[in-house]
Each structure stands twice: as structure tokens, then as C-alpha cells.
Amino acid sequence: MSKPSVHDLDLTPKPGKHYWTNSGREWREEFIYFLMVDRFHDSHHRTADAAPGKVTGFGTPEQLEKTCGGTLKGITNNLDYIEALGCTAIWLSPVFENNNDSYHGYAIQDYTKIDKRFGTTEDLANLVDAAHARSMRVFLDIVLHHSGNNWSYPGDVPYYYYNGIVFPFGKWRFEDKPCPIELRNPDLYSKKGQIRNFDSYPETREGDFLNLKAFRNDDSPEALYVQEVLTKIHCYWIRETDVDGFRLDAVKHMGEKTISQFCSHVREYAYTLGKRNFFLFGELLGPEEMYNRYIGPKTSIKIEDTAIYYGLNSVLDFPLYHVLSNVILGQATPEKLIERYESLRRNAMARGEFGEFLVTFIDNHDQVGQRIKSRFGYRATDEQIVAGIGFLLCALGTPCIYYGTEQGFQGSGEGDSSVRESMFSLEDDRTNTLNISNPIYQRISKLATIRKNSPVLKFGRMYMRESSQDGRIFKLPVTSDCMLAFSRILYDEEMVIVYNSSLQQDDEEYIAVDNQLNPEGSVFRYRYGGEGKIHVLKNEGGNRHFIKIRLGPTQFVILTNQKIRS
């Protein structure tokens, strides 16, 4: 039996297929639900225990190190749950055939097949079609830097990066993997051993990611060839399943030009199918100045090729992730969070190469550099979880929620599997945690609906707001127990978001608002978290307009200066 070849992949549009596009919604309007396919739901029909708040996901540490049994059909069968939460897009962990000892999807051995543990190509296409019927987009997590543990070094012992030395190739672990057959060429791999220092260049680009084998990632003919192969493979999956975007794993481990070329070619192919706004966002851990090298237009360095390569649309906002949770929990002062939002505001206003918006999150499956991994819900109360997601939904960026956060998952421990709990029972085939009556779920759903119906929260300018104890001296907060406020403004409407980070104390403060939009005596009305209205006041000099608000511990509210728009 012949082995699959990249030349066997048909990139012509499927006969009679109308490829889906929803050009009426910008990417910053999305609310993304990120799930791990193996952990979200299996193919059984189950019901949830009606827990009143935070719950614990299923699975012992030993069970979570192995495959749990989640499937693509399980996701399709429970799209109503994701849709009712208010999410408009789904980001799936990698679905291609993995090494047998891998459950997470990042150890690919066959790029031409869906992992049979998750389902089939038809199952993925059906999931995408069902999501599209709900006007939801689907993104695939993809891996370009490395393949799975598909071959060994001599003696099948670990080799480690050392001064860029190329080590000998050992042997293939399987007779027929990796696929397509073009990837069974040792010259397409760096063969420089495992990365020791993930912040050292060129080591972090050339080395293997643990035992996963890095492809060539330079300007060699072999590197260019492997990228051509990977580009064609991923275009094939757009053709086959009609997906709407890719999240690129481990972007900092690849060259800027490689990423830009891949993005440009994939985007162009999507256009040939009539798919507009194909969304490409990346995982990029590193200093913020690194983002500019991967987002937006890049010019080819080839003299004979004057094409413009357009790179990633966006990246995951790790700088925000690293500060937001601690401020919400009242465990850090807000200066760095304010600085982060000010940076996002400046870049959104400038509309430069940095990108107008980033994908924001507060919980994550891959907590790099931490020995003890913990979900946000491990330390947070119900109210703090809602406030954390509320910040994402109301502030600049494309908000993303990690599966289980809406149920208050509390995973913690050594290793990534500690924060990758199962949402379905591993002991019986009747129980799951998809509880739509959970107050956390319901309140996040309400916030998502407000955002969906509010142009201000999706498109408005953002300003951090100064506060005052006496209505005279205003300043940005500097203590961990504080009233944290910001505004979104779109034309003549201002929405004010306020959060009391204290776990113990009520707080009453004056919050600055826009002078021109809010004359003295005008009103703000509660949109979320309270009732009634608040009149706008001004100081004696008339140069400062503000509202006076009192919040209980960890209370989160949204106010608007106009009628609630339908």
C-alpha cells in the first residue's frame, strides 16, 4: 500500500461546496471558546450535576496524563452549551493524528488524517458546518515548528542542543510515519537536540521541543521545502473542512519570514475558496517588541520577489495574562495592569503594525515556566471569576475563555495535565459538568450578551479612569485593594466599567467620566451588576466631571450614559 503523499492532496474546491464566510463581523467582535478536544466531551449523551458554583473537573492526576476520550462528535453534540455561553468562535486543540502516548495533539505523526481517537475528517467537517449554522467560527490549533516523536537519535537516548552542532540521525520509530511521505526525510529536520534555554537564539528556533522533533527552520532549500509541504497540508484542511482560522503554536520558535510566508499563502488560498477574513493568531511568549516582527505586513528579502507577505493578524496577549489575574484577586497593585491597557490603547489608536487588537485571556492550558500549574479558579471566588472574564469582555481585545472556567474549574498541581481536566466523568457515561444553571456560567453569558449588543464595548476607545475619595484629588489607583475603573467611548456614548478588588471592604469613590459627553446632572444607568441610575457631578472649577459609586467586595458593574440599545 502506497504511503500518502502531499501530491495526493486535492486543493481544488469541493464540487458543489459553498464555503462559509461571515464578512459582516470583525475579528475583534468574537468571543472565543478554547477547548481541548480530548477533555471537553465524549460521544455519550450526559447530564450535569446542578452544582451551585465552582466545581472540580473530572480525572485523577494519573488519568489526566492519558487520553480521556473526548471526541469531535462530543463537541458537535454540545454546541448549544458553547453558544448559550455567548461564545461566537471555537478554538480546537490540534486534531491531526498524534503519537499514541499523546493526548494533547501537539505530537503529530500524520498531518493527512484526523486522530482516530477524536473522530474522522467527516466529523470535523460536520462540527464546522454545525458551528456555521449558528454563525460561529472554528479555528484549528496547528504546529509548524516540530512534528511528533517520530524518530530517534543514535541509541535512542536524549540529545541536547550544544553550539548548533548537527547530530546524526538514528532511526524512524514507525515504518509508515510521519505522513505525508515527504516528511520521512531526515534532512528536513534540524537534528540539533533538545532546547535547554528557551530564551536563547538561535537555540530556541533550531532545537527540539522536548522529544518532539524540530523541522529545519532556516533559509536552506530543505527548510523552504518543508514549509511548502506544511502550507499545502493546511490549505488542504481548509478545503476539506471549511475551518475559519488557525492558531499557530510556538511562533517564537520560528523565523518571522517563515511565519509571514505561511500566513500569506494560507490567506491567499482561503480567498480562492471565497473565504474572507481567515484569522491567523499565534502563541508568542516573549517581550512585547517581538510582536511587531510577526504581525502585519512583511516584505520579502528576495530581490526578485517584491511581494508583500502579511503575517499574523494577532497574537495571544501574554503580558495581560501575567498581570490581570493577580489584580482581580487583589494580590497585586494595578500599576502594571494600567500600563498594559495603556499600551493596548496606544497601539489600537495608532493602528500600526502591532495590530489593532490582541486575543486576551485569563486562564490557560500551557503555563510555561511554572512548576505548579493552577487555573484562575483555584484561587478565585465565583465573583472574581466573573469579574476576570468581565474585564476581557469589556476591555480592548478579542476575549478568549478557556473551557471549564465558566464552571469555576479549580485544577492545580505539577504538570500541564493538572489544568486540563475532563468536563465529563471518566467513571461513568452519564455525568458531565456542562451545567447551564451554574451562576458563574449564567453571569458570563449575560456579560457576553451585553457585549454582543453593544458597539461601544466592541469598537469603542478605551481609557483607564482616575478615582477620588473626596471628589477633589483624582489619581489612578496604586493599592491592591482599590476601585479599578475604565471607560469605553464610541462617538457620543460612554460605558464605565468598575470593579472593587477588595475581598473584605465596601468602597465608595468618585470616578472620572468624559466632560464633554456627560454634563452635570446627566445620568449613568446600570447595565450590569446594579440597579437604578447615578447623576453626573462636577467639581467647583468645572474641569472635572465624575460619578459617585459604592461597591461591595469584588463587585463588578457596567454603566452607560445612554439608553440601553436593543
Res. 566 pLDDT band, cuts 50 70 90: very low
pLDDT (mean) for 360-367: 93
**Residue spans of alpha helices (H) in 273-374:** 318-328, 335-350
Residues 6+ apart with CB under 8 A from 12: 239
Q: Determine contact, residues 452/420, Cβ cutoff 8 Å.
A: no
- The secondary structure of 235-285 as a DSSP string is HHHHHHH---EEEES-GGGS-HHHHHHHHHHHHHHHHHTT--S-EEEE---
Q: Is residue 441 exposed (0-12), middle (13-18) or buried (19+ Cβ within 10 Å)?
A: buried
- What is the dotted CATH code of the domain comprising 32-145+226-452? 3.20.20.80
Scan for cell 441610575, then name that residue: 533
> What is the per-residue pLDDT across 22-32, written as a single tens digit (0 to 9) for each?
767 888 999 99
Instruction: State how far Cα 167 lies from the chain centre.
Output: 36
Return d(Cα 320, Cα 357) in angstroms, integer.
12
pLDDT (mean) for 85-112: 97
> What is the per-residue pLDDT across 459-477, written as a single tens digit (0 to 9) for each?
999 999 999 999 999 999 9
pLDDT at 310: 84
Return d(Cα 69, Cα 560) in angstroms, integer.
45
pLDDT at 343: 84
pLDDT at 300: 53
> What is the per-residue pLDDT across 232-280, written as a single tens digit (0 to 9) for each?
999 999 999 999 999 999 999 998 889 999 999 999 999 999 998 899 9
Return d(Cα 535, Cα 547) in angstroms, integer.
6
> What is the per-residue pLDDT across 186-214, written as a single tens digit (0 to 9) for each?
999 999 999 999 989 999 999 999 999 99
What are the angstrom distances between the C-alpha of 144 and each of 64, 252, 476?
Answer: 26, 11, 43
Question: Is pLDDT at 563 greater than 70 in this prediction?
Answer: no
459-560: CATH topology is Immunoglobulin-like (2.60.40)
Report angle CA 355, 356, 362 to the nearest 5 degrees.
Answer: 90
Return d(Cα 470, Cα 509) in angstroms, integer.
8
Question: Is pLDDT at 304 greater than 70 in this prediction?
Answer: no
pLDDT (mean) for 291-309: 66
pLDDT at 306: 56
- The secondary structure of 276-301 as a DSSP string is -S-EEEE---S-GGGGGGTBSEEE-S
What number of CA atoms fall less than 13 Å from residue 441's CA on the CB side?
A: 23
Return d(Cα 414, Cα 205) in angstroms, integer.
26
Q: Determine contact, residues 403/34, Cβ cutoff 8 Å.
A: yes
pLDDT at 354: 43
Per-chain mean pLDDT for the chain: 93
E-only strand ranges, 300-426? 308-310, 314-315, 359-360, 372-374, 398-402, 412-414
> What is the per-residue pLDDT across 65-78, written as a single tens digit (0 to 9) for each?
999 999 999 999 99
Q: What are the boundaries of each domain within the chain?
A: 32-145+226-452, 146-216, 459-560
β-partners of residue 475 are: 467
Q: Determine contact, residues 309/257, Cβ cutoff 8 Å.
A: yes
pTM of the model: 0.96
Question: Is pLDDT at 33 greater than 90 in this prediction?
Answer: yes
